[in-house]
Chain A
């Protein structure tokens, strides 16, 4: 089987072109697309988790309730709840109860992170 270096010529074997361009080029493109879109799906998920969880926390300032909301949202997005790391910071009142406090929720999933801010 002789490979031709003339790209525009019509001599050669179609099977070589099919394997070369159909498999060797398309499969890496497909793998890259799948990986990138999966990463973006996870980013969308943690953004939504941060947004909804902080609203839940502002309505009911209780960490156990917030944890439950985060777990339920993670399950809804098909993410293992144990992989989601979150941290709640409040200022100036660390208990997040006093009116006028600002709540910040940081959510991390692997190398991805999302933050949401809300005032009480």
Chain B
């Protein structure tokens, strides 16, 4: 015995297949977005660590902190120690305003795990680290 219900509303007519495929695609997209968000957070954490290490190195190399020498020391550190897990790291700023605190700002190219078209524009992430010398 086959039971079939047909209501007058046209929205309830049709196959379940598009709904099933749509639900699967939605689940997959949600997973990919969560993974991409995790990946960008991880890259930013790595960049922050790298910026902090660079700031500490520049601070330790400087006897007298000056804005002329800091970019050179920071660049030297980044050249000596290539950073794993980060692509195209560039030094944006290495400076000190008060003569005690060194601020280093780094930017890097971020690529999602799965190269999705909608993320292709979100490519650059930046982070900064501070190191301070005691009086």
Contacts and interface: CB of A to CB of B under 8 A. Distances in A.
Given A43-B42, A119-B56, A10 B84 contact: no
Contact of A51 (B14, B19, B31, B49): B49
Contacts of B45: 47, 51
B57 A37 contact: no
B31 A17 contact: no
B35 A119 contact: no
B13 to A, nearest CB: 5
Contact of A8 (B15, B39, B53): B15
Nearest to A40: B38
Contact of B24 (A6, A7, A21): A21
B109 interface: no
A43 B19 CA distance: 35
Contacts of A32: 28, 31
B35 A17 contact: no
Nearest to B61: A100
Contacts, number: 87
Q: Interface extent on B, as a size class?
A: 20 to 34
A30 B23 CA distance: 12
A36 B28 contact: no
A111 interface: no
A116 interface: yes
A37 B31 CA distance: 8
A27 B89 CA distance: 39
A17 B53 contact: no
A83 to B, nearest CB: 20
Contacts of B46: 47
A21 B19 CA distance: 9
B15 A22 contact: no
B63 to A, nearest CB: 12
9 contacts: A8-B14, A12-B15, A17-B20, A21-B23, A32-B31, A40-B35, A47-B45, A51-B45, A117-B81
Interface of A: 6-10, 12, 14, 17-18, 20-22, 25-26, 29-30, 32-33, 36-37, 40, 43-44, 47, 51, 99-100, 102, 104, 113-119
